[in-house]
A and B are shown apart, each in its own frame.
Chain A
Amino acid sequence: MKNRSILRCTLLAIAAPLAILAAPVHAQDVLKIGVNGVMSGEAASWGLVNKYCAETTADVYNAKGGVDIGGKKYKIEIVALDDKNDPKLSVSNAEKLTSEGIKYIIGPNIDTTALAVKPVVERAKAMNFPYAFAKELYSPPANASVLGMVASYQVGPIMYDYLKTKKGVKSIAFLARNESDSKNQQQEGVEAAKKLGLTITADKDTYEPGTKDFMPVLTKIIKTKPDAIVLSGVAPADAPLLNKAARDLGFKGSLSTETAQDSKILAQVAGAKANGFLSVGGASTPEIQSDAMKAYIEAYKKRVGEWNDEAGTKVYALELIIAVLQKNPAAINDVEVFKKEMETFSMVNPFVKDGKTKLEFTGKADFGRRSQVGVPLVVNEFQDKDFKTLFVGTIKN
Chain B
Amino acid sequence: MLQVLINGALLGAVYALIALGLTMVFSIMRVVNFAHGQMYMLGGFVVYYLYGQYGLPFYLALPAAGIVLGLIGVAFNRFFFQPVLATSTREENSMLMAVGTALLLENLALTLFGEKQRGVPEVVEGIFIWGDVAEGGVVLTYSNMLVMGVAVLAIVALLGFVQYTRPGRALRAVAQDKEAACLQGVDVKTTTTLGFAIGAALAGIAGGLLVTIYGVNAGVGSNISTKAFIMVMIGGAGVTKGAILGGLLLGFAEAIGYDIFPGSVTYLIIFVAMIIFLLFKPNGMFGKPWG
Contacts and interface: CB of A to CB of B under 8 A. Distances in A.
Interface in B132-147: 132-134, 137, 139, 141, 144
Interface residues of B, number: 48
B185 interface: no
Contacts of A215: 3, 7, 10, 255
Interface stretch (B118-126, B152-160, B228-236): B118-126
Contacts of B106: 40-41
B52 A40 contact: no
Given A216-B255, A268-B118, A208 B263 contact: yes
Contact of B215 (A205, A268, A308): A268
B223 interface: yes
A220 B110 CA distance: 34
B141 A248 contact: yes
Given A45-B217, A271-B122, A213 B7 contact: yes
Contacts of A208: 263-264, 267
A49 interface: yes
A268 B120 CA distance: 6
B129 interface: yes
Given A204-B262, A208-B267, A216-B11, A44 B218 contact: yes
Interface in B100-127: 106-107, 110, 114-122, 127
A265 interface: yes
Interface of B: 3-4, 7-8, 10-11, 14, 52, 106-107, 110, 114-122, 127, 129, 132-134, 137, 139, 141, 144, 210, 213-215, 217-220, 222-223, 254-255, 257-259, 262-264, 267
B259 A220 contact: yes
* Shortest beta-carbon contacts, A-B, top 9: A269-B119, A210-B223, A206-B263, A268-B119, A42-B219, A216-B258, A237-B117, A45-B115, A212-B214
Interface string A196-239: 00000000111111101101110110110100000000001100
Given A45-B115, A49-B115, A237 B217 contact: yes
| Chain B CB within 10 A, most for which of A40, A249, A251 | A249
A223 B116 CA distance: 32
Interface of A: 40-45, 48-49, 178, 204-210, 212-213, 215-217, 219-220, 222-223, 225, 236-237, 240-241, 244, 248-251, 262, 264-265, 268-271, 304-306, 308
* Secondary structure type dominating chain B contacts: helix
Given A44-B219, A204-B262, A206-B264, 10 more contacts: A42-B219, A207-B258, A208-B263, A216-B257, A219-B4, A236-B117, A241-B214, A249-B139, A268-B120, A271-B122
Contacts of B3: 215, 219, 249
A205 B264 CA distance: 9
Contacts of A42: 219-220, 222-223
B263 A205 contact: yes
Contacts of B218: 44
B259 A219 contact: yes
A18 to B, nearest CB: 24
16 contacts: A40-B106, A45-B116, A45-B117, A208-B263, A215-B255, A216-B255, A217-B263, A220-B259, A241-B215, A244-B213, A248-B144, A262-B117, A264-B116, A268-B117, A268-B215, A308-B116
A250 B7 contact: no
Nearest to B252: A216
B129 A219 contact: no
Contact of A240 (B7, B141, B215): B215
B267 A249 contact: no
A308 B119 CA distance: 15
B117 A265 contact: yes
B204 to A, nearest CB: 17
B208 to A, nearest CB: 14
Nearest to B115: A45
A228 to B, nearest CB: 14
B117 A240 contact: yes
B263 A249 contact: no
Contact of A265 (B8, B116, B210, B258): B116
